[in-house]
């Protein structure tokens, strides 16, 4: 920076460099104080601002210095010299000024350098102090954080302990409250159950009374309706006769009037016009009726096609499984389709008879008596009526039967479907192979062939059939009309054989049911110690329970007998029960031994029957001999049907020689049935009349069977006690249990049974070494529950108790042998033995009656 000053008329030039600064040895107090007081780091803008202020102050300082410069007084000597040499003097001044400027500049640079050093030193000190304070504060913060974390952990621990204590107290209080509530619920359930039982008894009583009143009202209404309908029918007939008389008179008068008409041509033209109008009207009416017939009832061809689409024929039923065939026959669609076709065939036969086919159908047999045999009796749930109204009931039943026969079909659909069942599975439907069964099989096969041939003719039209029986090559043309005759003849033959077989089977079923009822009655009398007067005041609670159970079981048996034979079967059952009670009390009064009352009163000696072994063998070899009434046949053999609930514990052990009557025929049980009963119940049921050889042989067979059975199960137990148990035999036993249950259960249950009893999982569990007792227990429990479902409802309580006893015993075995590794397997084997014995009892109970009961229930469902 250049500055010019004027002094004494002369110019003085001073030059100060702007960029160069002088340094000082001391830092002003003001700057030092400001540097020490300010700790924050200055920014670039602040530094630049400070530098600008410093430059401005320096310029002001330089200006003040320049203005203060004065020229010194000149000496005379010098003035002369200066005047003499101004150039030198100016140069000297310039050099002095330059030297001074350089000195000032050097001092300023030194002063600024010192200031910068001080500033850097202050800045470094401030940064070091800031770093120390920051570290100190960080240490304090970290220590406080650690202390806070420790305090937080202590608080959490205290809170968790307090919460655990509260949870424990709440759980204990909850357990106590649940125990109180469970006890209260049990008491409430017991009270509700008692009230329900009482209400159910009261409801049943009221229902029975209402049913009696309703039946009486229905009978009264029917009688009134029958009388009114009879009166109306009589009046209708009278009116019809009067109208017919009037029409005949009108026709005669009209004919006389037409004859008296003068012109014949006119009358002919009128008649032709009338005939054309009537023909047109009749054609339209016929077309309308035909369309309505096609829409509502369908044609015979459509019905035959629908029947053919069912795939029920002689070949398919033989290859079809029994369960599948039974489900197909019991389906509603099958029954409706077959019934529609049979009704149409019957209508065609009636139409052919009316339409002039009397030469072909005049030989139709009257089978009303056979149709009456296969008619389904109505199930009655009300008690038996009193003796006063029995005659009125009989008259009403006769009238209803007559009306039913008038409305019933000539070809009942259930009997027709049974022909296919007999043809496809005769061994499952027919329990024997006697003459009746053989004749029924042959007639069923012939009937099915004629029916299929008739359906084929309807579908394909008339066919040619060669006469192979006569050996000639002549062929005849089979039409629907000719085939109807052959079909009806085959039907009559089959129906006759079917009725004979059904009556025999129903009699055998009725005998078994009545015998079971008498066994229950004798068991109740012996257990409850009843008197002839019926005094039951001294009965205990258990005796009353036995009496109630026997009454319920006998009620079920009465319903079965009612369904089988109607009121006549009920009368025979009541007579048998009364006679059984009478003979028991008579023998008791005479002092006869009554150790086994079932055999002594159900199997008396037959008057006039042969007593030699040959005669007995002959009687056993002719099982198809016609029996007497069911009441008498009840006492001809020992009952092999195990009684329900309490009756099973007092099965008979020997026959007595008491006399029942000369009209009772011989009917001994076969040896196989006796062996089966002895094997099931462990009691002797052989008659005392068997000779000593038969008794020894049967006892030896029973002993051998018992020894072999014991050896079999002992072998399995020993194989389980070895170091390396053989689980293959256990798996085979479980497979046998599953297969037997599947055979007993319906088709729809088999998938569930297979899933519950999985042999692969069982094999893995057994061979793993760690036996899962809970899994084995679930298998046993499922098998027992399934058998309980398959049993009769009357035996539910007994089976539940037996199952609970078994499960409790198995649990005790597992608890008593905790140290043994094979105790679960041994308990499993014991449970399997119990299940197999129950299955064996099922098979023996229902093998002789299941086929008859199945056919009987099939009739009712159809």
CB 759 within 8 A of CB 804: no
The pLDDT score that the predictor gives to residue 438 is 87
Residues 89 and 193 in one domain: yes
Q: For 520, what's the count of Cα atoms within 13 Å in the CB-facing half-sphere?
A: 26
| Residue 279 is assigned to a structural domain of this protein | no
d(CA 792, CA 855): 18
The pLDDT score that the predictor gives to residue 164 is 93
| Residue 703 is assigned to a structural domain of this protein | no
d(CA 308, CA 456): 9
- Of 819, 827, 824, 822, give the one whose Cα is nearest residue 722: 822
% pLDDT > 90, the chain: 10
| Residue 291 is assigned to a structural domain of this protein | no
Tokens at residue 45, please? 């803008």
Three-state DSSP at 14 gives strand
| Residue 669 is assigned to a structural domain of this protein | yes
Last residue of a domain, one of 235, 259, 283: 259
d(CA 616, CA 760): 53
* Residue burial 664-675, b: 16+ Cβ < 10 Å; e: rest: bebbbbeeebbb
- Predicted confidence (pLDDT) per residue in 497-510, tens digit: 888 888 887 888 88
| Residue 269 is assigned to a structural domain of this protein | no
d(CA 446, CA 441): 9
d(CA 376, CA 362): 29
Residues 249 and 336 in one domain: no
CB 628 within 8 A of CB 509: no
Residues 337 and 473 in one domain: yes
Question: Which residues sit opposite 476 in a β-bridge?
Answer: 465
Residues 480 and 511 in one domain: no
Residues 667 and 739 in one domain: no
CB 356 within 8 A of CB 371: no
Residues in the chain: 862
Residues 78 and 127 in one domain: yes
Last residue of a domain, one of 259, 279, 313: 259
Residues 530 and 676 in one domain: yes
The pLDDT score that the predictor gives to residue 50 is 86
The pLDDT score that the predictor gives to residue 150 is 92
Residues 105 and 153 in one domain: yes
Question: Which residues sit opposite 6 in a β-bridge?
Answer: 11
Residues 87 and 190 in one domain: yes
| Residue 831 is assigned to a structural domain of this protein | yes
The total domain count for the chain is 4
The pTM assigned to this predicted structure is 0.39
Residues 62 and 165 in one domain: yes
Residues 324 and 374 in one domain: yes
Residues 720 and 823 in one domain: yes
- Of 664, 678, 669, give the one whose Cα is nearest residue 623: 669
Question: Which residues sit opposite 463 in a β-bridge?
Answer: 478
CB 506 within 8 A of CB 491: no
Residue 342, burial from CB neighbour count under 10 angstroms (0-12, 13-18, 19+): buried
Residue 773, burial from CB neighbour count under 10 angstroms (0-12, 13-18, 19+): middle
Question: Which residues sit opposite 14 in a β-bridge?
Answer: 3
The residues, ordered by sequence, that sit 6+ positions from 99 with a Cβ below 8 Å of its Cβ are: none
Last residue of a domain, one of 259, 279, 311: 259
What separation in angstroms does the CA of 286 have from each of 290, 300, 795? 6, 18, 63
d(CA 777, CA 831): 9
| Residue 294 is assigned to a structural domain of this protein | no
CB 518 within 8 A of CB 577: yes
The pLDDT score that the predictor gives to residue 633 is 31
Q: Which residues of the chain have pLDDT under 50?
A: 1-9, 12, 19-24, 82, 357-362, 379-399, 401-406, 467-474, 593-694, 819, 848-862
Domain range for 741: 709-861
The secondary structure of 435-473 as a DSSP string is: HHHHHHHHHHHHHHHHHHHHHHHHHH--EEEE-TTTT--
The pLDDT score that the predictor gives to residue 583 is 85
The pLDDT score that the predictor gives to residue 263 is 55
The pLDDT score that the predictor gives to residue 530 is 75
The pLDDT score that the predictor gives to residue 300 is 84
| Residue 272 is assigned to a structural domain of this protein | no
């Amino acid at each position: 920076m250049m500055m010019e000053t004027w002094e004494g008329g002369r110019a003085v030039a001073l030059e100060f460099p702007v960029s160069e600064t002088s340094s000082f040895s001391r830092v002003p107090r003001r700057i030092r104080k400001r540097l020490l007081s300010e700790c924050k780091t200055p920014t670039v803008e602040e530094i630049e601002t400070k530098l600008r202020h410093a430059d401005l102050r320096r310029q002001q300082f330089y200006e003040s210095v320049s203005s203060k410069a004065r020229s010194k007084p000149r000496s005379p000597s010098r003035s002369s010299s200066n005047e003499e040499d101004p150039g030198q003097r100016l140069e000297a001044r310039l050099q002095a000024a330059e030297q001074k400027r350089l000195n000032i500049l050097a001092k300023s640079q030194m002063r600024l350098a010192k200031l910068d050093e001080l500033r850097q030193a202050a800045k470094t000190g401030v940064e070091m102090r800031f770093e120390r304070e920051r570290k100190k504060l960080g240490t304090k913060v970290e220590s406080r954080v650690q202390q806070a974390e420790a305090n937080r952990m202590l608080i959490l621990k205290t809170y968790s302990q307090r919460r655990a204590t509260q949870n424990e107290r709440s759980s204990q209080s909850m357990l106590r409250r649940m125990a109180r509530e469970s006890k209260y619920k049990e008491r409430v359930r017991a009270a509700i159950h008692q009230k329900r039982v009482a209400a159910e008894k009261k409801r049943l009583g009221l229902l029975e009374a209402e049913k009696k009143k309703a039946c009486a009202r229905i009978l009264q209404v029917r009688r009134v309706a029958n009388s009114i309908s009879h009166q109306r029918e009589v009046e209708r007939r009278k009116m019809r006769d009067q109208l017919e008389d009037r029409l005949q008179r009108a026709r005669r008068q009209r004919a006389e009037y037409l004859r008296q008409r003068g012109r014949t041509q006119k009358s002919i033209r009128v008649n032709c016009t009338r005939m054309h109008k009537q023909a047109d009207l009749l054609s339209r009416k016929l077309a309308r009726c035909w369309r309505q017939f096609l829409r509502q009832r369908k044609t015979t061809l459509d019905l035959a096609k629908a029947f053919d689409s069912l795939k029920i024929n002689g070949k398919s039923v033989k290859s079809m499984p029994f369960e599948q065939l039974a489900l197909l026959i019991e389906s509603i669609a099958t029954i409706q389709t077959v019934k529609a076709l049979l009704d149409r065939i019957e209508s065609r036969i009636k139409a052919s008879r009316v339409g002039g086919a009397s030469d072909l159908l005049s030989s139709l047999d009257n089978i009303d008596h056979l149709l009456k045999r296969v008619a389904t009796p109505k199930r009655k749930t009300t008690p038996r009526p009193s003796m006063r109204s029995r005659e009125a009931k009989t008259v009403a039943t006769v009238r209803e039967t007559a009306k039913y026969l008038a409305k019933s079909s000539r070809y009942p659909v259930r009997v027709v479907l049974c022909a296919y069942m007999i043809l496809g599975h005769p061994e499952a439907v027919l329990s024997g192979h006697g003459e009746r069964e053989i004749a029924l099989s042959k007639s069923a096969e012939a009937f099915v062939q004629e029916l299929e041939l008739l359906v084929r003719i309807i579908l394909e039209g008339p066919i040619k059939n060669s006469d192979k029986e006569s050996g000639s090559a002549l062929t005849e043309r089979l039409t629907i009309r000719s085939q109807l005759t052959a079909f009806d003849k085959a039907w009559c033959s089959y129906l006759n054989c079917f009725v004979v077989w059904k009556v025999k089977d129903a009699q055998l079923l009725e005998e078994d049911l009545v015998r079971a009822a008498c066994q229950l009655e004798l068991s109740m009398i012996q257990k409850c110690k009843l008197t002839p007067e019926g005094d039951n005041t001294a009965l205990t609670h258990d005796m009353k329970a036995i009496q109630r159970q026997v009454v319920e079981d006998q009620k079920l048996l009465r319903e079965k007998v009612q369904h089988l034979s109607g009121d006549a079967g009920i009368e025979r059952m009541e007579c048998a029960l009364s006679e059984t009670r009478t003979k028991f009390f008579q023998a008791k009064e005479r002092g006869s031994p009554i150790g086994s009352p079932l055999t002594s009163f159900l199997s008396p000696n037959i008057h006039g029957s042969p007593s030699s072994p040959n005669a007995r063998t002959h009687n056993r070899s002719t099982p198809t001999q016609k029996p007497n009434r069911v009441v008498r046949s009840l006492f001809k053999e020992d009952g092999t049907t195990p009684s329900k609930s309490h009756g099973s514990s007092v099965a008979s052990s020997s026959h007595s020689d008491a006399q029942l009557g000369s009209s009772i025929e011989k009917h001994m049980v076969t040896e196989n049935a006796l062996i089966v009963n002895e094997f099931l119940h462990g009691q002797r049921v052989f008659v005392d009349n068997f000779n000593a050889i038969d008794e020894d042989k049967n006892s030896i067979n029973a002993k051998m069977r018992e020894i072999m059975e014991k050896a079999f199960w002992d072998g399995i137990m020993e194989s389980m006690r070895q170091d390396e148990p053989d689980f293959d035999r256990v798996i085979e036993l479980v497979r046998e249990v599953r297969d037997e249950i599947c055979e007993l259960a319906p088709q729809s249950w088999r998938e569930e049974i297979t899933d519950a009893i999985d042999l692969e999982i069982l094999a893995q569990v057994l061979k793993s070494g760690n036996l899962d007792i809970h899994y084995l227990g679930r298998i046993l429990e499922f098998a027992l529950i399934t058998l309980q479902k398959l049993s009769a409802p009357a035996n539910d309580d007994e089976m539940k108790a037996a199952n609970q006893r078994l499960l409790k015993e198995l649990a005790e075995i597992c608890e008593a042998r905790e140290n043994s590794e094979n105790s679960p397997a041994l308990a499993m084997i014991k449970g399997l033995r119990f299940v197999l014995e129950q299955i064996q009892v099922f098979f023996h109970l229902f093998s002789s009656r299941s086929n008859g009961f199945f056919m009987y229930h099939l009739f009712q469902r159809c």
